[in-house]
């Protein structure tokens, strides 16, 4: 009944996931991951699973990027500090 919508959402998720794999820089990868979280939430809604979509939104749109960016930042700072003492 809603086949075109499901196809579009699936294509969007596939394109986004491929981009998340192809991008090398971790900070840019976090950006692509945030978009992927939103696309996945839309896909879950299209597949009539709004509860899964809700938790995906809560985790994927703010929490995953925050954790990724914080850890990237911490690793960079540690490397910079090590370079200074050397």
Partner 1 sequence: MNGWTATATAVLALGGGATVWGVATGPLGRRVVAQNLSTSLACPVLLLLAQGYGRPSYVDLALVLALLGPVGTLVFARLLAEDLEGDPPGARAATYAVAVFGATVVIVLCAVAGPGRAMVKLLVTGALLVAGNLVASRALAGGFSGSRHG
Q: Judged by CB under 8 A, does residue 28 bind partner 1?
A: yes
Q: Judged by CB under 8 A, does residue 75 bind partner 1?
A: no
Taking the CA atoms of residue 13, residue 7, residue 2 and residue 49 in that order, the dihedral angle to the nearest 10 degrees is -30
Site size for partner 1 (CB under 8 A) = 38
Q: Judged by CB under 8 A, does residue 34 bind partner 1?
A: yes
Q: Judged by CB under 8 A, does residue 5 bind partner 1?
A: yes
Q: How many residues does the chain have?
A: 86
Site string for partner 1, 40-69 (x = CB under 8 A): -xx--xx-x-x--xx--xx--xx--xx--x
- Quote the crossing angle between the two packed helices 64-85 and 26-46, to the nearest 10°: 170
């Amino acid at each position: 009944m809603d086949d075109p919508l499901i196809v579009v959402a699936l294509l969007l998720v596939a394109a986004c996931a491929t981009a998340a794999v192809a991008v090398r820089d971790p900070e840019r990868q976090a950006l692509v991951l945030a978009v992927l979280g939103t696309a996945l939430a839309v896909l879950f809604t299209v597949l009539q699973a709004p509860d899964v979509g809700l938790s995906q939104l809560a985790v994927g749109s703010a929490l995953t990027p925050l954790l990724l960016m914080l850890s990237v930042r911490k690793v960079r700072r540690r490397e910079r500090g090590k370079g200074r003492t050397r």
